[in-house]
Structure formats: structure tokens, C-alpha cells
């Protein structure tokens, strides 16, 4: 076979291809297919060792979250991992407005893993549906470590799921402040028997892009923390997403 295949997730194709170009040896080319956030690249020409070296270099640059060998669906893989672990997932969404739920339910058969999502956009919904205390919201704000922790705990209580992801942020274009500029997103993940983790991100781009990055990174932070006890450091690839 004179081609090698790899999949990217969330990476901007122009940014990825600027990095890919100097890695390609003479006679090597690539073509891309994809649906937007997920893209599949086919490397052609050169020998297998050279092509594999390109994929390995991209993996080293971006890590296995954003680049994966083969034509794979990372979200389907996430669901398989949780299914194998016997764990169910629930979500509490604010700025993502149900997008995280859509990403999971786009995969057929996800209902055996995914309980569903509570879209608690307004503070009244966070309080009324998830039990986030009003004094906490007044003191810390909707976009805060404390609030996403309470959202995650609340949706676990409501759903009975084993673990949860919660997202609250400033998607823009307005609403930012010096302390919480547009693109500021807090993500909470955890489970009753596994503890909780809250992490702050600053995502670039339009409202749509901030929401998309929040949903995907939220899911993969849940996977990293619950299944491997890890967090996600986006600083290594911020300029490429």
C-alpha cells in the first residue's frame, strides 16, 4: 500500500497543513476529507517508513487527543471506552446549549452510555434543575470553578449516572470582562467514586468556535480524568485549534 491515513480532531486544516508541509519528503502529497471538526488525511507517495515518520511527528507535536493514526471516530471511541468500563455519563451544559449532547448522540447506540444533558443556560435553570445554590452563583458567578463543580454534582444527583461533565463559559461576542474575557470556559468533570476536577480554558475564535471547542474538550477531559486520572493541557496546541 502506497498510502498512510491519520485523523485530526479540532485542528484547523490550514494550521495543520503548514506543519505538515515541511515534514513531507519529495514525492509525498496528501488529500483531506472530513466533516468540519474531524478530518481524515491520506498521505501518498514516498515509502511507508517516511509516511509513518510524518504521522509520528504530528503525534509528537499535537498529542493523541488531536491526531490519531488511521480513519477513526474519536467520539465513538470515547463511548466504547466508557461502555467497556461499565460507566454511564451525564452532562450539564450552559454555554454549549446542548451541543455536547448532540456530539454524543450523533453516534448510533450512545444511549447505553449517555443518560442525557441538562441545558441549564440561565442561572434560574442552574438553581432550579441542578440545585446550584443561589448564594454560590451570586458570589462566584456562572463562569467559575465552583459553579461547574456544583453543576456536575447536580446532574449526577438528577440522573444517577456514574460520572458527569459540566460546561459554563463566555462564548461571546459580548459579555466578557478583564477577569473573564470572551473565550473563558470552565469545565468540570467527575464522579462520586472518582472525585472531581475543574479546569479553566481560554478558547479562541468566534462564538461557534468557542462552543465547539468547549463541547469536545469537555468530553475528552471527562475521558482523560475518569479513565486515566489525567487532565488536558491545551497550551501545546492553542495556536492550531
Same domain, 166 and 112: yes
* Residue 121: Cβ within 10 Å count: 15
**CB proximity list for 99: less than 8 A, separation 6 or greater:** 93, 211, 212, 214, 215
Same domain, 43 and 78: no
CA–CA dist 98, 114 (Å, integer): 13
How high is the pLDDT of residue 111? 98
Q: Give the pLDDT confidence of 97-107 residue by residue, as tens digits.
A: 999 999 999 99
Same domain, 32 and 94: no
**Are the CB atoms for 221 and 148 separated by under 8 Å?**
no
How high is the pLDDT of residue 1? 56
Residue 240 has pLDDT above 90, yes or no: no
- Cα dihedral 108→112→114→116 (10° resolution): 90
How high is the pLDDT of residue 37? 94
CA–CA dist 121, 97 (Å, integer): 7
Same domain, 86 and 188: yes
More confident residue, 90 or 240: 90
Q: Give the pLDDT confidence of 187-199 residue by residue, as tens digits.
A: 999 998 899 999 9
Q: Which domain holds residue 126?
A: 74-240
Q: What is the CATH number of the domain that holds 189?
A: 3.90.950.20
How high is the pLDDT of residue 224? 96
Task: Please give the mean pLDDT across all residues of the chain.
Answer: 95
**CB proximity list for 89: less than 8 A, separation 6 or greater:** 82, 104, 113, 114, 115, 161, 162, 163, 164, 165, 222
Q: What is the CATH number of the domain that holds 42?
A: 3.30.70
* Residue 227: Cβ within 10 Å count: 16
Same domain, 121 and 9: no
Give the neighbor-by-neighbor strand order of the sheet with 163-169: 114-119, 89-93, 163-169, 184-191, 195-202
- Spell out a b/e string for 144-165, using b for 16 or more CB atoms within 10 Å of the CB, else e: bbbbbbbbbbbbbebbebbbbb
For residue 39, give the C-alpha cell: 478530518
Number of domains the chain contains: 2
Amino acid at each position: 500500500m502506497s498510502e498512510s491515513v491519520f485523523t485530526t480532531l479540532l485542528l484547523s486544516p490550514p494550521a495543520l497543513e503548514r506543519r505538515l508541509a515541511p515534514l513531507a519528503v519529495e514525492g509525498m502529497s496528501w488529500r483531506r476529507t472530513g466533516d468540519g471538526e474531524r478530518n481524515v488525511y491520506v498521505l501518498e507517495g514516498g515509502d511507508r517508513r517516511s509516511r509513518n515518520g510524518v504521522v509520528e511527528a504530528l503525534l509528537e507535536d499535537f498529542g493523541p487527543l488531536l491526531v490519531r493514526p488511521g480513519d477513526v471516530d474519536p467520539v465513538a471511541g470515547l463511548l466504547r471506552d466508557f461502555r467497556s468500563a461499565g460507566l454511564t455519563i451525564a452532562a450539564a451544559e450552559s454555554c454549549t446549549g446542548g451541543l455536547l449532547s448532540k456530539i454524543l448522540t450523533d453516534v448510533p447506540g450512545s444511549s447505553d452510555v449517555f443518560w442525557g444533558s441538562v441545558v441549564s443556560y440561565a442561572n434560574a435553570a442552574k438553581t432550579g434543575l441542578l440545585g446550584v445554590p443561589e448564594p454560590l452563583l451570586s458570589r462566584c458567578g456562572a463562569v467559575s470553578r465552583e459553579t461547574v463543580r456544583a453543576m456536575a454534582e447536580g446532574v449526577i444527583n438528577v440522573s444517577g449516572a456514574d460520572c458527569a461533565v459540566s460546561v459554563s463559559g463566555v462564548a461571546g461576542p459580548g459579555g466578557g470582562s478583564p477577569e473573564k474575557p470572551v473565550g473563558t470556559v470552565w469545565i468540570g468533570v467527575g464522579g462520586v467514586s472518582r472525585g472531581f476536577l475543574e479546569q479553566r480554558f481560554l478558547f479562541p475564535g468566534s462564538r461557534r468556535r468557542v462552543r465547539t471547542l468547549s463541547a469536545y474538550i469537555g468530553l475528552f477531559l471527562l475521558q482523560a480524568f475518569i479513565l486515566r486520572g489525567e487532565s488536558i493541557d491545551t497550551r501545546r496546541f492553542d495556536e492550531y485549534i
